[in-house]
Structure 1
Amino acid sequence: MTAVIVCAVLYMVILERDRLVEFAAGFSADPAEDAATGDMAEDAETLEIAPDETGAHVVHVVARRSESAIAENAVRLRGRTEALRQVNVQSETSGLIISPPIRAGAFVEAGQLMCEIDMGTRGAALAEAEARLAEAQSRLPESEARLAESRAQLTAAEIDNNAASRLSESGFASETRAATTAATVSAAVAAIQSAEAGVEAARSGIRSAEAGVDQAREEISRLQIRAPFEGLLESDTAELGSLMQPGALCATVIQLDPIKLVGFVPEAQVDRVEIGAPAGARLASGREVQGEVIFLSRSADLQTRTFRVEIEVDNADLAIRDGQTADILISTDGIPAHLLPSSALTLNDAGALGVRVVTEETEALFMPVTMLRDTARGVLLTGLPDQVDVITVGQEFVTDGVAVEVTYEELTQ
């Protein structure tokens, strides 16, 4: 029963308000008070909508006269820090470690000894190679002397052959002697060829011996594993007495100064990023850093269709570590935008985001906008003229073409 009574009262108050007022007027003791009550109701109905001079109804709204300004339109990425260089320093030969280990976290200079391997018999192998080289070098003068002797014999044989040939032609010598001297010349030529081959063999032996010496020395140089660049050790070096094999890890060295910030740019924004552009980042620890873009990939990732970008940041104090999460902002060319309160935004019948503005004919008009970003003072919007009157209060009560009476915020502040 209570619910039925309440529904009846609400029906009379909302839908049958005029009849209820007339019914109550019959019991009013003060006609003047009734007239005042009627005037108040009429004023309430015309508070927002009132007729203008031509008789058409206008809507009272509050507007802001906004002018565009250049706003920074940075590319926002989420990425991580990455060491400039990281190398696993490995052994190239086998043997026992004879150097004490260097503990992880230590700073090493370029060329600093990290692991040393026992020489073993490599010293003897070098001495043997050097002895072979000396022996090969001693054979060369002997071979060159034989070559010189053979050339002298050839010269003498050619002189005898010429003399025998002339005497034979004049009848003063037999043809047998001429044939003998010619054979001697041929033998001398063969001896020269053999001597030249001996010289080449001696020189080849020297080169082979030199290669053996170089190989033995290179093998000895591999016994000392040194840091390829200055950096920090990410692991202990090989322990004293441990057996190293080719490819075994001596230590991992990373270089953190400078350090890189690595992110991935969506293909829709890749054209806005340029090499050398200033950039900044906020690390997960709260630290803010600045640098510049040093690399932008020309090839997209096949899975994410994004492009790798690298930013170089100074890290002289080595406080930034490898693998920290970073919110990255890459500076780009600014664009004109309007700073407006978020409450001024509205939607049209098609669901498009925009604002309603006041035209020169003092009528409402919907304009679509693009939100650049949100700030503590409002939202930055693009897509509007350089100067525009934006309705900030009452935009939900007007549609395109509706006449408005404007009160500007500048006049009320």
Structure 2
Amino acid sequence: MSFNHKSKRRKWRGPALAGVSLLCSALAAWWWLGRRPVVASEPRASRVAVNVIEVTRVRSETVRSYVATTAPLREVVAAAETQGKVVSIDLTPGQSLQRGQVLAKLDDTVLRANLEKAVVAEAQAKSDLERTRTLFDAGNLSREAIESADFAYRRAVADLAITQQQLEYATIRAPFDGVVDARIAELGGMLQPGSGVAHMVDLQVIKVVAAVPESDIRLFSLGQPLEVSFGFPPSIQKMGKVSGIAAMADDAHCYRIEVDVPNTSEPALKAGLSAQIHLRISTTSAPLSVPRSAVRGAAATPQLWTVQDNHVRIVDLPPLSEATAPYIPVENVPEGTLVILDGPDDLQAGAFVEPLPSPRRQ
């Protein structure tokens, strides 16, 4: 009996100790939770909507404009390369031409006769050379004879090439794809080598030329994209790239800048237009700042209403020296802090709010 009694006591001792341990743990947890403040999570519908903006560094952009004028990418006076009378010309200012297209023709009657004469002379010289070689190989002629025949043939070949080239010169062709700016020669006129036939310009790319003062030349670089406006007042806007920067300034201490603007889209540009080159310069201020509209209170006791964990937190600022400045420096507020721009005037510190982002400032 004694043994059974002890066995029963040991049987119930384990569960009893476990129950006591659980009870103590529950009491300790209840006591600990009772010491912590209870934070009630407010429903989203009870939050007050406010417009906010981040504390950032002010970024601003300035535009510097320079007076310019347009010029063709290249221009040339197409000229005659041989003497002759103009027998055909049909050019109109503004006419578009392709490279190699005929501008004018000169009288080539004499040149064609000379070409026929040169062809016959070349054939005769070639025949004489072949006959001389045959006789030389048979031992009937000296080496001097074959050398003389060879020289005569080579001279005839050269004369033929010159005559053919002179005949080609009688047809004057466009040196590149371009536009006729002015017609110089007239039908029936006599031209000498170098006499002008037409002034041609290449307008596939317009070159915009400006004079930049030495104080600004460091702001430009080759290949730099720039905005260009054309006309007076400016009515056409296109983009171009810097293609040339002078290495030496002029007497006014200005440097010549060239900007190439593609002229493949409408409206088509012409040379000699008034233009302006616009250089945009972006800057970032050093101090952190907020818009003046975000600062509340008097200039002597300004405050910021910030948002942290969806609650309003009031930050005191130093007195403002310039109450009308568009941006106010806030060195004691971390960058990225949300600042209330618009909201109810009766907001209090700790109020539960729903921040709505405002457009980012530039």
Task: Tell me, yes or no, if structure 1 residue 270 matches structure 2 residue 217.
Answer: yes
Does the CA contact (< 8 Å) of 2:225 and 2:242 recur in 1? no
**Equivalent AA in structure 2 for residue 134 of structure 1:** A
Contact 2:102/2:174 (8 A) holds in 1: yes
Partner secondary structure for residue 139 of structure 1: helix
Contact kept in structure 1, 2:241 and 2:261, CA below 8 Å? no
Do the aligned partners of residues 213 and 379 (structure 1) sit closer, same or farther apart at CA in structure 2, a change above 3 Å counting?
A: farther
In 2: Cα distance, 1:118 partner to 1:386 partner? 86
Instruction: Name the structure 1 match of 2:190.
Output: 243
Deviations 1:10-61 (A, max 9, x none): xxxxxxxxxxxxxxxxxxxxxxxxxxxxxxxxxxxxxxxxxxxxxxxxxxxx
Tell me if the contact between 2:65 and 2:276 (Cα under 8 Å) persists in the aligned partners. Answer: yes
Higher helix proportion (structure 1 or 2): 1
Q: Percent identity?
A: 23
In the alignment, is the contact (CA less than 8 A) between 1:291 and 1:311 conserved in 2? no
Structure (1 or 2) with the larger CA radius of gyration = 1
Paired letter, 1:323 = G
The aligned residue for residue 217 of structure 1 is 164
Cα 1:78–1:210 shift into 2, 3 Å: same
Give deviations 1:218-253, integer Å, cap 9, x for gaps: 111111111112222112352221222222221111
Structure-2 residue corresponding to 1:313: 261
Q: How many residues align?
A: 257
Residue 203 (str. 1) matches residue 192 (str. 2): no
Q: Of 207, 216, 227, which aligns to 1:260?
A: 207
Determine whether 1:96 maps to 2:82: no
Alpha-carbon offset, residue 70 of structure 1: 2.5
CA RMSD of aligned residues (A): 3.7
- For 1:230, the equivalent position in structure 2 comes to 177
- The answer for the alignment partner of 2:273 in structure 1 is 324
Q: Which residue of 2 aligns with 1:129?
A: 118
State yes or no: 1:117 paired with 2:106: yes
8 A Cα contact 1:84 1:258, kept in partner: yes
**Superposed counterparts of 1:2-401, under 5 Å:** 68-150=57-139, 194-195=142-143, 197-236=144-183, 238-285=185-232, 286-316=234-264, 317=266, 319-331=268-280, 334-337=282-285, 362=319, 364=321
Amino acid at match of 1:104: P
* CA spacing shift, 1:218–1:278, aligned 2, 3 Å: same
Q: Give secondary structure in 2 for the equivalent of 1:307.
A: strand
Aligned partner of residue 77 in structure 1, secondary structure = strand
Instruction: Give, in whole Å, the separation in 1 of the partners of 2:280 and 2:136.
Output: 78
Letter in 2 for 1:303: D
Distance 2:203 2:130 in 1: 58
Work out the CA distance in 1 between the residues paired with 2:59 and 2:106: 65
| Structure 1 counterpart SS, 2:88 | coil
Shift of 1:73: 4.4
Structure 2 letter corresponding to 1:99: S
Render the CA deviation track for 1:251-298: whole Å, top value 9, x for unaligned.
111121221211122222222212222211222332232223242325
Question: C-alpha displacement at 1:80, in angstroms?
Answer: 0.7
Give the whole-Å Cα distance in 2 for the aligned partners of 1:318 and 1:222. Answer: 37
> Which of the two has greater strand per residue?
2
SS at match of 1:99: strand
Cα distance in 2, alignment partners of residues 287 and 68 from structure 1: 35
**What is the distance in 1 between the residues matched to 2:326 and 2:98?**
50
Query: Which consecutive unaligned segments of at least 5 residues does structure 1 have?
Result: 1-65, 154-190, 342-357, 366-377, 389-408
Q: Is the 8 A contact 1:278 1:330 kept in 2?
A: no
C-alpha distance in 1, partners of 2:240/2:330?
32
Distance of aligned partners of 1:267 and 1:385 in 2 relative to their CA distance in 1, 3 Å threshold: farther
SS at match of 1:235: strand
Task: Give me the whole-angstrom Cα distance separating, in 1, the residues matched to 2:325 and 2:190.
Answer: 66
Q: Which residue identity does 1:218 align to in structure 2?
A: Q
The DSSP-based 3-state class of the residue aligned with 2:183 is: coil
Partners of 1:80 and 1:325 within 8 A in 2: yes
Q: 1:81 to 1:298 in 2, by over 3 A?
A: closer
- For normalisation by structure 1, the TM-score amounts to 0.54
Pair 312,104 (structure 1): closer, same or farther in 2 beyond 3 Å: same
Counterpart Cα distance in 2 of 1:241 and 1:335: 65
- Tell me the residue number matched to 1:371: none
Give the residue type in structure 2 aligned to 1:71. Answer: S
Separation in 1, partners of 2:215, 2:208: 21
Whole-Å separation in 1 of the counterparts to 2:244 and 2:325: 30
Distance 2:76 2:326 in 1: 46
Listed as ranges, the gaps of 5+ residues in structure 2 are 1-54, 293-301, 303-316, 333-340, 346-362
Give the Cα–Cα distance (whole angstroms) in 1 for the partners of residues 87 and 208 of structure 2. 39
Residues 60-92 of structure 1: CA deviation (Å, up to 9, x unaligned): xxxxxx964223345431111111121111111
CA contact (8 A) 1:101 1:237 kept: no
